């Protein structure tokens, strides 16, 4: 039986307040509550975002007498490592996180990927996902809860720390992609706050270029338009997976609420407002959505809806254990790319990192559970 779409996360207790949950004004107020001078707020933010320190006891510019109080009030431990695996000679590292303050044992994932010219972290915005896409391990597991802003940002900080400590002080994060567990735009307010802090310059954020941050969505059309109006300049990735409503209704059930045309119209609005090219994600599934006529239809629809703003990112499916879904053969993939490009639409095939460590969204969590 098909799973029901879940747009509202189950009511679950969020973790205690953390410095990363707070904007500059709220940080100042929190410091004042502790009876500390105002400059401590900027000092704490500089330590967290600039030096990547999340333990006040390691912040040597703080008076020793106030470190315990600051740690208790603003730096609770949010995440612990439940499992970590790597491949590609250590260049791809997947972490299963466990929420420390959650009695239900909430878990979610992030993946750190090193490339010659960039270092990318793929992060989760929810524990689980309510969008019920049948080929996705996370979608089939259902939604547990939204992540807090700090839980999202702690994944980023942990990735930056791992790069610095394991690969040298010159190594830093260059790209952040919201393509892990969850539908980012279904946790809109917290994801927005996280993006603002990822892209803000220290001491207010990690200082990663907005052009190097990608927010993925299955097509929540009103939220796409709302994100466009924020004018953050991040890249939008639309998970399309089928060019026709008949198939997309099954592969991406949210299509029953906002059709392919509505999702593409919202994506065009995003591109027009931001001036950014839209990445259209298309998981290529054997004998499901890889037919030549669907390649032609996909190219036609994107050329008409997005024009030069369209870019197709083909994703060879990373199959889930026990699933009937499988990746398309390489010759089918090559023909699909050829036909799309022949219609004048940009198309590339995503590098398939981490297949041997279940690095696709939700696979490690499903295996662990």
Cite the active site residues.
109, 361
DSSP state of 181: S
Backbone angles phi, psi at 121, to 5 degrees: -120, 130
Decide if 180 contacts 127 (C-beta within 8 A).
no
Q: Rg (Cα) of the chain, in Å, rounded? A: 21
Distance CA 218, CA 312 (A): 14
- For 56, 66, 172, 194, 317, the CA distances from 33, given in Å and listed in that order, are 17, 13, 34, 24, 51
Name the nearest CA neighbour of 185 among 214, 215, 209, 148. 215
Distance CA 44, CA 61 (A): 9
Which neighbouring-strand residues pair with 285?
327
Question: What does 134-148 look like in DSSP terms, one character per residue?
Answer: TT-HHHHH-EEEEPP
Beta strands 235-239 and 278-284 are parallel
d(CA 110, CA 127): 11
Least Cα distance to 120 among 171, 175, 164, 160 occurs for: 175
Phi, psi at 333, each rounded to 5°: -60, -45
């Amino acid at each position: 039986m098909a799973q029901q779409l879940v747009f509202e996360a189950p009511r679950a207790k969020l973790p205690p307040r953390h410095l990363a949950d707070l904007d500059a004004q709220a940080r100042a107020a929190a410091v004042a509550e502790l009876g500390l001078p105002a400059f401590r707020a900027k000092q704490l933010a500089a330590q967290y975002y600039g030096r990547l320190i999340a333990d006040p006891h390691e912040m040597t510019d703080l008076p020793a007498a106030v470190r315990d109080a600051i740690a208790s009030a603003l730096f609770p431990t949010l995440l612990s490592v439940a499992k970590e695996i790597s491949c590609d000679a250590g260049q791809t590292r997947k972490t299963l996180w466990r929420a420390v303050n959650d009695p239900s044992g909430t878990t979610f994932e992030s993946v750190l990927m090193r490339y010659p010219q960039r270092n990318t972290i793929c992060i989760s915005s929810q524990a689980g996902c309510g969008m019920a896409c049948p080929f996705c391990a996370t979608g089939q597991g259902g939604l547990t809860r939204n992540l807090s802003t700090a839980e999202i940002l702690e994944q980023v900080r942990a990735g930056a720390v791992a790069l610095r400590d394991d690969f040298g002080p010159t190594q830093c994060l260059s790209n952040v992609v919201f393509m892990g567990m969850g539908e980012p735009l279904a946790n809109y307010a917290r994801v927005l706050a996280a993006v603002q802090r990822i892209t803000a310059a220290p001491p207010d954020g990690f200082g990663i270029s907005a052009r190097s941050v990608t927010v993925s969505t299955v097509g929540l059309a009103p939220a796409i338009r709302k994100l466009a109006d924020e004018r953050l300049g991040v890249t939008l990735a639309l998970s399309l997976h089928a060019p026709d409503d008949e198939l997309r209704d099954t592969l991406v059930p949210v299509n029953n609420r906002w059709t392919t045309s509505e999702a593409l119209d919202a994506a065009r609005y995003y591109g027009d407002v931001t001036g950014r090219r839209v990445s259209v994600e298309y998981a290529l599934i054997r004998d499901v959505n890889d037919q030549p006529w669907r390649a032609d239809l996909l190219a036609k629809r994107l050329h008409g809806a997005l024009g030069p703003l369209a870019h197709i990112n083909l994703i060879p499916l990373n199959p889930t254990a026990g699933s009937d879904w499988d990746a398309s053969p390489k010759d089918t993939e090559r023909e699909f790319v050829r036909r799309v490009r022949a219609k004048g639409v940009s198309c590339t095939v995503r590098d398939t990192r981490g297949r041997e460590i279940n690095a696709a969204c939700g696979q490690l969590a499903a295996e662990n559970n």
